[in-house]
Every structure is written in C-alpha cells, then in structure tokens.
C-alpha cells in the first residue's frame, strides 16, 4: 500500500522559474489492479508517478510504502526499494542505444550480480512472451515504436517488481500498437501486479479493465473514481 | 563474493559497450593518451637507462683523477708529481694519462684522443671508435690525416676499430701511441694531461684526495663519485628540459580529458538518469565510470609503456637519444640494458592514469547524485 500525506513537490525552488508541480496531495493506493492518473499536460501526473516510484523526493509531506516511510530514506535504501518494488515504462521508452534488446532488458539486474545464465534466461522468457524472441540480438535502434515499448516493458519486469509504473505508455504509439501494449499491461495486472498508468488517452479506458481513475488538475486531485 | 565478481563482469561489459558506442571519440582519446604515456615513459626509461649505463661503466674507472690547475683552469701535470703521489699513504697505483680533443673540420666533430697503455701501439698507428670510423668511412689499413700543432699533416694508419659493445665510451675515441700523441700536440716529454690513482681502500678516497691537495695546493683531485654525480646532474638537466616540453603536452591532455569528462554530454547524463531510474544506485554508476576510466587509461598506459620500453631498449631510442645522450656529432650507437623499475611505473601511473580517472569520476558523480526523475520526463 502506498500512502501520500500532504505531499508537495516544487521544482527550482526559490528561483524565478519555480514551479509547484504537486500541491498538498493526499491519497492511498492499494495493492493490485490498474489505477490510471489522468489530466492535461502539466497537471502533475508524471511528478506524482516519479514520487511513487522513488525517482524523486517530495519537497514536503510524507510518502509511505507498506507503512514504511520513504520520504526520508537515504539514497541507497531508496534505490533498493526502487529496484525491488517498482518497474518503470517511460513515455520515450528510454532504451540505451547501442545495446541489444536482450542487454537492455537485463540492464536493471546488472548491479545485483545475478548469474548470467539465469538472468539471460529470465530476459529471454519475458521477450518471448512479448513476441520479441526473434529480435533479442538486434540493437534497439532497429525496433519499431511498439517493439521498443514492449522491450521497455520487459526491462521493467526483469527484477520482478510488485508495482509497474507506466508514464504515458501509448503516447508514441498508433492505436493498434497502443492496444497491444495495453493488453500486456492488463495481463500483468490480472496476474496480481499493481499497475499505475498516467495517461490522457481515452483508449486506455476502453482497452483494459481500469479499477480506479484519479484525475489531476494544477497539481491537485480533482477527482477520484473507482470503477 | 560471486555476486560481486558477476556484478563487475556486467559493469565491464556495459562499459566496453559504452566505449564502443562512442568509438571515434574514444579511439582518438586513446591514441593521444597512449602517445603521451609513450613520450613520458621513453624519457624516464632512457634517462634512467643512461644513468645506469654510465654507473656500470664508471665502476671500472679510477677512484681518483688528479689534475693540475693554473688560474682555475686545467693545466698539464708535471711528470715529477707522479712519484710524490705514489708516496701518499693509501695510494695504490699512479699513472700519468695523455689525452685530449681534436676538432676535425671535415666532419665538424670532436675526437677524443688518448694514449692507452694497455693497448700498445707503434708510432703512426691508431685504433678508432666505431662511430668515428663510420663517419670518416675508414677501416683497418686506411690512413687518417690529422693536422699537428705545428701545422704539419700527421698521417696515422688505422690498425683496429674498437668493439661496438663499448661504444658509449668509445664512439669518438682515437687511440694512439705516446710518441704520436706528443708529436701531434707538441707535448713536452715531462708532462701528462692528468694522473689516475687507485686507492687501497675506496672508502678512504676522500682522505687521500685531501692529502693530495696538501701535497699539491694547485691540484684538483676528482673522485669517481663526483663524476657519477655530474653525469646524474647532466642527465637530470636534460630530462628536465624534456619534461618541460612534455609538461605542455600533459597540460593539453589534461584539458582534453577534463573537457571529455567534465562536459558529460546530454546523452551521457540522460543515460545516467535512465540507469538510476531502472534500479542502479550512485555507487553502481561510479563503479561503471571507474571501469570506464580505468580501462581506457590502463590500456593507454600499458600500450604506451610497452612501446616506450621497446623503443628505448630494443629500438635504439631514436626519438630522444639526440637530446638525452649528448651534444656530440658522433653519437654512440649502443643498446641499453633492459630494466623495469617499480617505483618509476608508480610515478608514471600517478601522473597519467590517476588524474584521468578522477577527471572521469567527478562529473559522473555529480550527474549520478541528482534525482533520476529527469529520465522519466524524456
């Protein structure tokens, strides 16, 4: 369970370009199911997901994961939580160019020092499952948008995280590819993972069984609907 | 432990892939770096090799050389001094030496002329150093004409060429008989250029020198250790001059390395952000960058040092020999004894590898401690 208590996030604090991305947000996210954060650009969706996923710290307020306070953890422990609890799928895919599909998927597990055979087998398994078995040796630059997004998805799952965070996963895909990726997210949620998606794409609500929709506006929660 | 080794393997794999991704830039950097290490190592190895060579050769040199000074300048030494020197307590053998320089305008070089008692020669016969023979294109049986002090030509017949193994000392050497030497320079029969002494106990050489000065206040005894020190000073000075030049190169490289490292490209910063976002911690990024710096700089170091070692000890050190070896026209042609000095390697590592690794690590650390959320924003 993830709890936000009066969380505020300010970028460039004290500078002329100061920007308050989240304003005193309080919410609780339960384990399991699909939660979608919707809202216009600049509403604070991505910021909220970065805070959930320990990619940034709140300026004020408290964030707890299963009752454990995250907002004051040292960087090392925060990485530990990030590594084992969260998997990320980025809007721009953020695959590392020059590496193969397989290497990109294995990358999050490198610091763990898992035996190569075990790690590469796990990566191959995810890639096979996402229909990329024939492309494991290709450099990621050769992939289409849909393939790149599925590779990013496999990478997010390599450390077997409980929570999958997908930031605008369909933003760079056409409708067919979007449906394909959303179907995979739906499958993962059905297997018991918590899936958090930020999106303003209406297709998301059509394609998968969303459990909860949280609407953001100007850094504040403007609506919270359970489906 | 196994996890740690596996982790390092992954980090090396990733680093190699990252280095290959920026192939052109890294190969360029590697070449410049290797060249720099090569130049530095060549200078150090050559300077040290020459000093060692000189020390080995001077081991057999006499413990004390006695010169006579007049108005602070070297003057001819009266033969009568030899007997007095022999009577000084602690002195073993005493021998008067005849030697001097001869400028040959034909090749614009100075020869060192010497009478060698251990190699008796008849009047008119000479034995020459290999470099001299090369430059004058003469061999055994040929004649070499020198102009005597009275202006008359003095033809001298070459009866031998000195062994190339001793070329450091004998390159420009011309051995001749006492009679020919005195005729050439118009030396009176009762003088020598200087005298060489052996002492029974080498540790008493300084005491013997003091006694010589007491016996002959216008004498100047020179100890072997002083000659060694002079050689050292000369090589150090020459090495220093080279280091000034190389220092400029080092500075240029430092700027280049700093620019490479400090100016992490937007792509590299983004990559660090992605790695952090997908579960790498700052320490992992730094370890990866450490491998990055170490792989590049150690490769450059190993290649540069090996090339330098090869060119100094097996390639004749052609690059720096003219600067470090001397001012002569007749450069000796000899091989230095191969040697590896651990302390020297450490010094080289400290001035070439360490700064590069630090220059690589600092900016990466700065990028790695930032929150990775920028990666999320694309």
B16-40 pLDDT per residue, tens: 888 888 888 888 888 888 888 888 8
Higher pLDDT, A88 or B329: A88
- Is residue A79 in a domain? no
Report residue B82's pLDDT band, with 50, 70 and 90 as the boundaries. Answer: very high
d(CA B145, CA B138): 11
- Which pLDDT score, from 0 to 100, does residue B191 have? 95
Residue in A with minimal Cα distance to B279: A83
Identify the domain containing residue A162 by its residue range. Answer: 32-54+84-226
What is the residue extent of each domain of chain B?
2-58+230-377, 64-222
pTM of the shown model: 0.69
The enclosing domain of A50 has a CATH number of 3.40.50.300
Q: Which of A57, A76, A115 sits opposite B371 (nearest CB)?
A: A57
Percent over 90 (pLDDT), chain B:
31
Residue B21 and residue A98: Cβ atoms within 8 Å? Answer: yes
- Is residue A7 in a domain? no
Is 50 exceeded by the pLDDT of residue B378? no
Determine which of B12, B278, B288, B290 to mutate to test the interface with A (most A C-beta atoms within 10 Å).
Answer: B278
- Which pLDDT score, from 0 to 100, does residue B130 have? 84
- Which pLDDT score, from 0 to 100, does residue A78 have? 85
Q: What are the CA-CA distances from residue B137 to residues B141, B144, B168 (Å)? A: 12, 10, 19
d(CA A42, CA A14): 20
Residue A90 and residue B277: Cβ atoms within 8 Å? Answer: yes
Average pLDDT over every residue of B324-344: 63
d(CA B97, CA B212): 17
CATH architecture of B64-222: Beta Barrel (2.40)
- Is residue A25 in a domain? no
Dig out the tokens for A15 from the structure. 């500078």
- Is residue A71 in a domain? no
Residue A88 and residue B277: Cβ atoms within 8 Å? Answer: yes
Q: A123: which chain B residues are within 8 Å (Cβ-Cβ)?
A: none
Q: Which of B4, B372, B376 sits opposite A167 (nearest CB)?
A: B376
Going along chain A, which residue ranges are E strands? 2-11, 19-29, 34-38, 60-65, 68-69, 86-89, 163-167, 194-198, 212-217, 220-226
Count how many domains chain A has: 1
Residue A75 and residue B282: Cβ atoms within 8 Å? Answer: yes
Residue in A with minimal Cα distance to B369: A75
- Is residue A173 in a domain? yes
Average pLDDT over every residue of B203-217: 91
- Which pLDDT score, from 0 to 100, does residue B155 have? 93
How close B10 comes to chain A (CA, Å)? 6
Report residue A104's pLDDT band, with 50, 70 and 90 as the boundaries. Answer: very high
How close B7 comes to chain A (CA, Å)? 4
Residue B9 and residue A56: Cβ atoms within 8 Å? Answer: no
- Is residue A70 in a domain? no
Average pLDDT over every residue of A89-101: 90
Q: At what angle do helices B224-262 and B342-368 cross, to 10 degrees?
A: 20
The tens digit of pLDDT for each residue in A139-182 reads 999 999 889 999 999 999 999 999 999 998 888 788 888 888 88
The tens digit of pLDDT for each residue in A12-34 reads 888 888 899 999 999 999 998 99
Dig out the tokens for A196 from the structure. 């958090």
Determine which of B290, B367, B373 to mutate to test the interface with A (most A C-beta atoms within 10 Å).
Answer: B373
Q: Which of A97, A99, A111 sits opposite B279 (nearest CB)?
A: A111
Q: Which of A90, A113, A167 sits opposite B7 (nearest CB)?
A: A113
Determine which of B14, B271, B279, B291 to mutate to test the interface with A (most A C-beta atoms within 10 Å).
Answer: B279
């Amino acid at each position: 369970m993830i709890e936000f208590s009066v969380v505020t996030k300010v970028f460039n604090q004290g500078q002329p370009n100061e920007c308050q991305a989240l304003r005193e947000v309080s919410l609780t996210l339960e384990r399991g199911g699909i939660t979608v954060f919707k809202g216009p650009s600049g509403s604070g969706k991505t910021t909220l997901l970065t805070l959930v996923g320990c990619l940034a710290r709140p300026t004020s307020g408290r964030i707890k994961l299963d009752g454990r306070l995250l907002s004051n953890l040292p960087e090392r422990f925060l990485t530990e939580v990030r590594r084992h609890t969260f998997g990320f799928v980025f809007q721009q895919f953020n695959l590392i160019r020059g590496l193969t599909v397989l290497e990109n998927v294995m990358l999050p597990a490198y610091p763990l020092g898992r035996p190569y055979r075990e790690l590469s087998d796990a990566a191959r398994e995810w890639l096979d499952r996402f229909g990329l078995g024939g492309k494991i040796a290709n450099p990621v630059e050769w992939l289409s948008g849909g393939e790149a997004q599925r590779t990013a998805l496999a990478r997010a799952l390599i450390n077997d995280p409980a929570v999958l965070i997908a930031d605008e996963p369909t933003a760079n895909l056409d409708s067919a590819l979007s449906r394909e990726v959303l179907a995979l997210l739906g499958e993962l949620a059905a297997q018991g993972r918590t899936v958090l998606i930020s999106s303003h794409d209406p297709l998301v609500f059509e394609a998968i069984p969303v459990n909860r929709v949280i609407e953001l506006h100007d850094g504040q929660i403007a609506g919270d609907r359970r489906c | 432990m196994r996890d740690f080794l596996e982790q390092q393997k992954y980090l090396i794999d990733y680093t190699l892939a990252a280095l290959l991704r920026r192939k052109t830039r890294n190969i360029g950097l590697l070449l410049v770096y290797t060249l720099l290490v090569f130049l530095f190592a060549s200078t150090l190895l050559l300077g040290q090799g020459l000093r060692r060579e000189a020390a080995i050769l001077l081991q057999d040199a006499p413990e004390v050389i006695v010169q006579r000074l007049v108005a602070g300048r070297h003057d001819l030494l009266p033969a009568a001094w030899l007997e007095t020197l022999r009577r000084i307590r602690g002195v073993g053998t005493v021998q008067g030496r005849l030697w001097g320089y001869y400028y040959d305008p034909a090749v614009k070089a100075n020869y060192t002329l010497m009478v060698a008692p251990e190699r008796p020669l008849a009047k008119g016969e000479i034995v020459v150093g290999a470099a001299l023979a090369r430059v004058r294109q003469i061999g055994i049986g040929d004649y070499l004409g020198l102009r005597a002090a009275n202006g008359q030509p003095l033809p001298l017949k070459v009866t031998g060429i000195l062994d190339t193994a001793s070329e450091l000392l004998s390159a420009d050497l011309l051995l001749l008989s006492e009679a020919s030497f005195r005729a050439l320079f118009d030396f009176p029969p009762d003088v020598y250029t200087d005298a060489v002494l052996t002492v029974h106990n080498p540790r008493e050489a300084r005491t013997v020198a003091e006694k010589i000065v007491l016996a002959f206040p216008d004498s100047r005894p020179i100890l072997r250790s002083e000659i060694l020190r002079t050689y050292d000073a000369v090589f150090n000075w020459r090495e220093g001059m080279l280091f000034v030049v190389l220092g400029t190169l080092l500075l240029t490289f430092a700027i280049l390395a700093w620019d490479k490292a400090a100016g992490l490209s937007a792509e590299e910063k983004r990559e660090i952000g992605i790695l952090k976002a997908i579960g790498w911690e700052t320490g992992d990024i730094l370890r990866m960058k450490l491998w990055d710096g170490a792989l590049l700089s150690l490769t450059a170091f190993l290649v540069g040092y090996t090339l330098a070692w090869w060119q100094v000890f097996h390639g004749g050190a052609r690059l720096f020999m003219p600067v470090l070896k001397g001012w002569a026209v007749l450069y000796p042609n000899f091989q230095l004894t191969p040697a590896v000095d651990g302390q020297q390697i450490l010094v080289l590592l400290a001035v070439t590898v360490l700064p590069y690794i630090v220059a690589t690590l600092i900016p990466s650390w700065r990028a790695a401690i930032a929150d990775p959320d920028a990666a999320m924003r694309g």
